[in-house]
Amino acid sequence: MSMTSTKLVVGNWKMFAPHEQAIQLARDVTKGVLLQREKLESSHVQTIICPTFTQISSVSEVLKKEDTPAHLLSLGAQDCYPAQSGPFTGDISAHMLQGLGARYVILGHSERRQNHQESDEIIRQKVKAATNSGLIPIVCIGEHLTERNEGRAASVLSRQLEGSLSRNFQGILAYEPVWAIGSGITPSQEELQRKLTLIRALLPLRLMRDDFHVPVLYGGSVTAAQADSIFAINGLDGVLVGSASLDAGHFLDIIKAATHTHHHITTP
Ligand code: PGA
Protein backbone atom coordinates (compact mmCIF):
# COMPACT_ATOMS: atom_id res chain seq x y z
CA MET A 1 0.00 0.00 0.00
CA SER A 2 1.72 3.12 -1.15
CA MET A 3 -0.18 6.17 -0.01
CA THR A 4 2.59 8.70 0.21
CA SER A 5 0.96 11.26 -2.02
CA THR A 6 -2.67 10.19 -1.62
CA LYS A 7 -5.03 12.52 0.25
CA LEU A 8 -7.69 10.63 2.14
CA VAL A 9 -11.11 11.98 3.03
CA VAL A 10 -12.94 9.61 5.39
CA GLY A 11 -16.59 10.05 6.33
CA ASN A 12 -17.67 8.57 9.65
CA TRP A 13 -21.46 8.44 9.63
CA LYS A 14 -21.60 7.16 13.23
CA MET A 15 -25.18 6.17 14.24
CA PHE A 16 -26.80 9.21 12.67
CA ALA A 17 -28.52 8.38 9.40
CA PRO A 18 -31.66 6.23 9.15
CA HIS A 19 -31.37 3.53 6.47
CA GLU A 20 -33.05 5.28 3.53
CA GLN A 21 -31.21 8.52 4.23
CA ALA A 22 -27.89 6.68 4.35
CA ILE A 23 -28.52 5.02 0.99
CA GLN A 24 -29.43 8.38 -0.55
CA LEU A 25 -26.31 9.92 0.97
CA ALA A 26 -24.21 7.12 -0.54
CA ARG A 27 -25.81 7.73 -3.95
CA ASP A 28 -25.20 11.49 -3.76
CA VAL A 29 -21.58 11.13 -2.63
CA THR A 30 -20.95 8.54 -5.35
CA LYS A 31 -22.46 10.78 -8.01
CA GLY A 32 -20.46 13.79 -6.81
CA VAL A 33 -17.21 11.85 -6.70
CA LEU A 34 -17.74 10.42 -10.19
CA LEU A 35 -18.47 13.93 -11.53
CA GLN A 36 -15.09 15.12 -10.23
CA ARG A 37 -13.37 11.92 -11.27
CA GLU A 38 -10.62 13.36 -13.44
CA LYS A 39 -9.67 16.01 -10.92
CA LEU A 40 -9.70 13.53 -8.03
CA GLU A 41 -7.59 11.05 -9.93
CA SER A 42 -4.97 13.59 -10.97
CA SER A 43 -4.80 14.94 -7.40
CA HIS A 44 -4.78 11.44 -5.85
CA VAL A 45 -7.73 12.10 -3.59
CA GLN A 46 -9.43 9.02 -2.21
CA THR A 47 -12.73 9.04 -0.33
CA ILE A 48 -13.84 6.40 2.15
CA ILE A 49 -17.37 6.33 3.57
CA CYS A 50 -18.08 4.46 6.80
CA PRO A 51 -21.77 3.74 7.37
CA THR A 52 -23.11 1.83 10.33
CA PHE A 53 -23.05 -2.00 10.17
CA THR A 54 -26.65 -2.41 8.99
CA GLN A 55 -26.04 -0.16 5.98
CA ILE A 56 -22.76 -1.65 4.76
CA SER A 57 -24.34 -4.14 2.40
CA SER A 58 -26.73 -1.65 0.74
CA VAL A 59 -24.04 1.04 0.43
CA SER A 60 -21.75 -1.55 -1.11
CA GLU A 61 -24.47 -2.23 -3.71
CA VAL A 62 -24.67 1.50 -4.49
CA LEU A 63 -20.92 1.66 -5.13
CA LYS A 64 -21.03 -1.49 -7.26
CA LYS A 65 -24.01 -0.30 -9.29
CA GLU A 66 -22.17 2.87 -10.27
CA ASP A 67 -19.00 0.87 -10.96
CA THR A 68 -17.11 3.16 -8.59
CA PRO A 69 -13.36 2.43 -8.61
CA ALA A 70 -11.94 1.78 -5.14
CA HIS A 71 -9.13 4.31 -5.59
CA LEU A 72 -11.80 7.01 -5.87
CA LEU A 73 -14.38 5.87 -3.33
CA SER A 74 -14.50 2.89 -1.05
CA LEU A 75 -16.29 1.52 1.92
CA GLY A 76 -15.27 1.24 5.55
CA ALA A 77 -16.88 0.06 8.78
CA GLN A 78 -16.85 1.77 12.18
CA ASP A 79 -15.63 -1.13 14.31
CA CYS A 80 -15.07 -4.88 14.30
CA TYR A 81 -14.68 -7.67 16.84
CA PRO A 82 -11.25 -9.27 17.44
CA ALA A 83 -12.38 -12.86 16.72
CA GLN A 84 -13.27 -14.15 13.26
CA SER A 85 -16.39 -16.05 14.39
CA GLY A 86 -17.81 -17.64 17.53
CA PRO A 87 -20.26 -17.20 20.39
CA PHE A 88 -20.15 -13.38 20.47
CA THR A 89 -23.73 -12.14 20.57
CA GLY A 90 -24.20 -8.82 18.84
CA ASP A 91 -20.65 -8.60 17.49
CA ILE A 92 -19.46 -8.40 13.90
CA SER A 93 -16.14 -9.73 12.64
CA ALA A 94 -13.70 -8.11 10.24
CA HIS A 95 -14.10 -11.19 8.06
CA MET A 96 -17.86 -10.58 7.76
CA LEU A 97 -17.33 -6.92 6.89
CA GLN A 98 -14.77 -7.81 4.27
CA GLY A 99 -17.27 -10.24 2.77
CA LEU A 100 -19.75 -7.39 2.33
CA GLY A 101 -17.33 -5.17 0.44
CA ALA A 102 -15.71 -3.12 3.22
CA ARG A 103 -12.01 -2.39 2.68
CA TYR A 104 -11.34 -0.24 5.75
CA VAL A 105 -12.37 -0.22 9.38
CA ILE A 106 -12.20 2.58 11.94
CA LEU A 107 -10.82 1.23 15.24
CA GLY A 108 -10.34 2.80 18.65
CA HIS A 109 -12.54 5.82 18.01
CA SER A 110 -12.80 7.82 21.23
CA GLU A 111 -16.55 7.12 21.36
CA ARG A 112 -15.73 3.39 21.48
CA ARG A 113 -12.91 3.93 23.96
CA GLN A 114 -15.31 5.89 26.20
CA ASN A 115 -18.69 4.21 25.71
CA HIS A 116 -17.44 0.64 25.42
CA GLN A 117 -14.41 0.88 27.68
CA GLU A 118 -12.14 -0.21 24.84
CA SER A 119 -8.55 -0.51 25.99
CA ASP A 120 -5.45 -0.11 23.83
CA GLU A 121 -4.98 -3.87 24.18
CA ILE A 122 -8.45 -4.65 22.74
CA ILE A 123 -7.87 -2.16 19.93
CA ARG A 124 -4.57 -3.85 19.09
CA GLN A 125 -6.37 -7.21 18.87
CA LYS A 126 -8.93 -5.65 16.56
CA VAL A 127 -6.15 -4.19 14.40
CA LYS A 128 -4.68 -7.68 14.02
CA ALA A 129 -8.07 -9.18 13.18
CA ALA A 130 -8.75 -6.49 10.60
CA THR A 131 -5.38 -6.96 8.93
CA ASN A 132 -5.76 -10.75 8.91
CA SER A 133 -9.10 -10.36 7.15
CA GLY A 134 -7.68 -8.02 4.53
CA LEU A 135 -9.17 -4.80 5.94
CA ILE A 136 -7.06 -1.66 6.36
CA PRO A 137 -7.43 -0.34 9.92
CA ILE A 138 -7.88 3.37 10.57
CA VAL A 139 -6.78 3.68 14.19
CA CYS A 140 -7.85 6.73 16.19
CA ILE A 141 -5.81 8.30 18.95
CA GLY A 142 -6.25 11.58 20.78
CA GLU A 143 -6.04 13.25 24.16
CA HIS A 144 -8.84 14.61 26.38
CA LEU A 145 -9.03 18.32 27.14
CA THR A 146 -7.72 17.98 30.72
CA GLU A 147 -4.82 15.85 29.50
CA ARG A 148 -3.99 18.56 26.98
CA ASN A 149 -4.32 21.38 29.49
CA GLU A 150 -2.15 19.58 32.01
CA GLY A 151 0.57 19.12 29.39
CA ARG A 152 0.07 15.35 29.18
CA ALA A 153 -0.93 15.07 25.49
CA ALA A 154 2.45 13.71 24.40
CA SER A 155 2.46 10.90 26.95
CA VAL A 156 -1.17 9.99 26.17
CA LEU A 157 -0.48 9.83 22.43
CA SER A 158 2.67 7.83 23.01
CA ARG A 159 0.82 5.34 25.25
CA GLN A 160 -2.02 4.97 22.76
CA LEU A 161 0.40 4.41 19.88
CA GLU A 162 2.38 1.83 21.86
CA GLY A 163 -0.75 0.03 23.00
CA SER A 164 -3.04 0.17 19.99
CA LEU A 165 -0.66 -0.54 17.13
CA SER A 166 0.98 -3.86 16.43
CA ARG A 167 4.67 -3.62 15.53
CA ASN A 168 3.93 -4.67 11.96
CA PHE A 169 1.05 -2.19 11.67
CA GLN A 170 -0.01 -1.54 8.09
CA GLY A 171 -2.80 0.94 8.24
CA ILE A 172 -3.83 4.52 8.75
CA LEU A 173 -3.67 6.64 11.88
CA ALA A 174 -6.19 9.35 12.76
CA TYR A 175 -5.30 12.02 15.30
CA GLU A 176 -8.59 13.06 16.86
CA PRO A 177 -8.28 15.22 19.97
CA VAL A 178 -11.35 14.24 22.03
CA TRP A 179 -12.09 17.89 22.78
CA ALA A 180 -12.39 18.68 19.07
CA ILE A 181 -14.88 15.92 18.23
CA GLY A 182 -18.39 17.23 17.71
CA SER A 183 -17.51 20.45 19.57
CA GLY A 184 -17.04 22.85 16.68
CA ILE A 185 -13.56 23.58 18.04
CA THR A 186 -10.46 22.69 16.06
CA PRO A 187 -6.82 22.99 17.14
CA SER A 188 -4.92 25.94 15.71
CA GLN A 189 -2.77 25.19 12.67
CA GLU A 190 0.28 25.63 14.85
CA GLU A 191 -0.94 23.13 17.48
CA LEU A 192 -1.97 20.62 14.83
CA GLN A 193 1.41 20.90 13.14
CA ARG A 194 3.14 20.34 16.48
CA LYS A 195 1.03 17.27 17.30
CA LEU A 196 1.58 15.85 13.84
CA THR A 197 5.34 16.27 14.17
CA LEU A 198 5.17 14.53 17.54
CA ILE A 199 3.15 11.61 16.13
CA ARG A 200 5.54 11.29 13.18
CA ALA A 201 8.43 11.13 15.66
CA LEU A 202 6.69 8.54 17.86
CA LEU A 203 5.62 6.21 15.06
CA PRO A 204 9.02 4.73 14.14
CA LEU A 205 9.70 4.05 17.84
CA ARG A 206 6.63 1.83 17.92
CA LEU A 207 6.94 0.25 14.50
CA MET A 208 10.73 -0.13 14.53
CA ARG A 209 10.79 0.22 10.76
CA ASP A 210 10.73 3.04 8.30
CA ASP A 211 9.91 1.24 5.07
CA PHE A 212 6.20 1.90 5.39
CA HIS A 213 4.58 5.31 5.27
CA VAL A 214 1.73 5.46 7.79
CA PRO A 215 -0.80 7.98 6.55
CA VAL A 216 -1.86 10.31 9.38
CA LEU A 217 -5.27 11.99 9.28
CA TYR A 218 -6.79 14.72 11.40
CA GLY A 219 -10.34 14.41 12.78
CA GLY A 220 -12.53 16.63 14.95
CA SER A 221 -15.06 19.24 13.74
CA VAL A 222 -13.69 19.31 10.19
CA THR A 223 -15.91 21.46 7.95
CA ALA A 224 -15.60 22.71 4.39
CA ALA A 225 -14.92 26.21 5.73
CA GLN A 226 -11.57 25.34 7.29
CA ALA A 227 -10.70 22.29 5.15
CA ASP A 228 -8.17 24.33 3.13
CA SER A 229 -6.23 25.34 6.23
CA ILE A 230 -6.25 21.76 7.55
CA PHE A 231 -5.06 20.31 4.24
CA ALA A 232 -2.28 22.90 4.23
CA ILE A 233 -0.69 21.25 7.30
CA ASN A 234 2.64 19.81 6.30
CA GLY A 235 2.75 16.01 6.37
CA LEU A 236 -0.97 15.51 6.94
CA ASP A 237 -2.48 12.83 4.71
CA GLY A 238 -6.14 13.66 5.05
CA VAL A 239 -9.15 14.11 7.29
CA LEU A 240 -11.67 12.02 9.21
CA VAL A 241 -15.01 13.80 9.08
CA GLY A 242 -18.02 13.14 11.34
CA SER A 243 -21.04 15.49 11.25
CA ALA A 244 -20.03 17.26 8.04
CA SER A 245 -19.94 13.92 6.19
CA LEU A 246 -23.71 13.48 6.65
CA ASP A 247 -24.48 16.22 4.17
CA ALA A 248 -23.43 15.20 0.66
CA GLY A 249 -22.89 18.76 -0.59
CA HIS A 250 -20.79 19.71 2.40
CA PHE A 251 -18.77 16.49 2.27
CA LEU A 252 -18.14 16.94 -1.46
CA ASP A 253 -16.83 20.44 -0.74
CA ILE A 254 -14.31 18.94 1.68
CA ILE A 255 -13.30 16.41 -0.97
CA LYS A 256 -12.85 19.28 -3.42
CA ALA A 257 -10.67 21.14 -0.92
CA ALA A 258 -8.34 18.11 -0.84
CA THR A 259 -7.67 18.60 -4.56
CA HIS A 260 -6.75 22.29 -4.10
CA THR A 261 -4.14 21.47 -1.53
CA HIS A 262 -2.50 18.84 -3.64
CA HIS A 263 -1.83 21.38 -6.38
CA HIS A 264 -0.74 23.91 -3.81
CA ILE A 265 1.88 21.56 -2.39
CA THR A 266 3.18 20.04 -5.61
CA THR A 267 3.25 23.15 -7.78
CA PRO A 268 6.56 24.98 -7.29
P1 PGA B 1 -16.91 15.44 14.02
O2 PGA B 1 -16.51 13.90 14.31
O3 PGA B 1 -16.39 15.77 12.66
O4 PGA B 1 -18.40 15.45 14.09
O5 PGA B 1 -16.27 16.24 15.08
C6 PGA B 1 -15.26 13.41 13.93
C7 PGA B 1 -15.11 11.99 14.38
O8 PGA B 1 -15.60 11.67 15.47
O9 PGA B 1 -14.51 11.16 13.70
pLDDT digits over 59-116, tens only? 999 999 999 999 999 999 999 999 999 999 999 999 999 999 999 999 999 999 999 9
Looking at this protein, which amino acid is placed at residue 77?
A
β-strand partners of 45? 7
What is the predicted pLDDT for the residue at 262? Answer: 45
Q: What whole-number distance in Å separates Cα of residue 43 and Cα of residue 259? A: 5
* pLDDT beyond 80 at 208: no
Q: What whole-number distance in Å separates Cα of residue 171 and Cα of residue 165? A: 9
Distances in Å between the alpha carbon of 121 and those of 143, 163, 206, 209, 217? Answer: 17, 6, 14, 21, 22
Taking CA atoms only, the protein residue closest to ligand 1 atom 2 is 242
Atom from ligand 1 closest to the CA of residue 140: 9
* pLDDT beyond 90 at 210: no
* pLDDT beyond 70 at 268: no
* pLDDT beyond 80 at 167: yes
User: How much distance in Å is there from the Cα of 223 to the middle of ligand 1?
Assistant: 10
What is the predicted pLDDT for the residue at 209? Answer: 73
Pocket test for ligand 1, best of 111, 239, 243, 254 (most atoms within 8 A of CB): 243
* pLDDT beyond 80 at 211: no
Taking CA atoms only, the protein residue closest to ligand 1 atom 3 is 242
Atom from ligand 1 closest to the CA of residue 12: 9
pLDDT digits over 187-197, tens only? 999 999 999 99
Q: What percent of the chain has pLDDT over 90?
A: 89
Q: What is the mean pLDDT of the chain?
A: 94
| Confidence class for position 2, pLDDT limits 50, 70, 90 | very low
DSSP 3-state of 209:
coil
User: How much distance in Å is there from the Cα of 209 to the middle of ligand 1?
Assistant: 30
User: How much distance in Å is there from the Cα of 143 to the middle of ligand 1?
Assistant: 14
* pLDDT beyond 60 at 264: no
* pLDDT beyond 90 at 260: no
* pLDDT beyond 60 at 263: no
Distances in Å between the alpha carbon of 161 and those of 14, 31, 55, 125, 176? Answer: 23, 37, 30, 13, 13
Pocket test for ligand 1, best of 15, 141, 240 (most atoms within 8 A of CB): 240
Q: Report whether 262 contacts 29 (CB < 8 A).
A: no
User: How much distance in Å is there from the Cα of 225 to the middle of ligand 1?
Assistant: 15
Known catalytic residues are 109, 176
* pLDDT beyond 50 at 233: yes
Q: What whole-number distance in Å separates Cα of residue 80 and Cα of residue 96? A: 9
Pocket test for ligand 1, best of 221, 223, 226, 251 (most atoms within 8 A of CB): 221
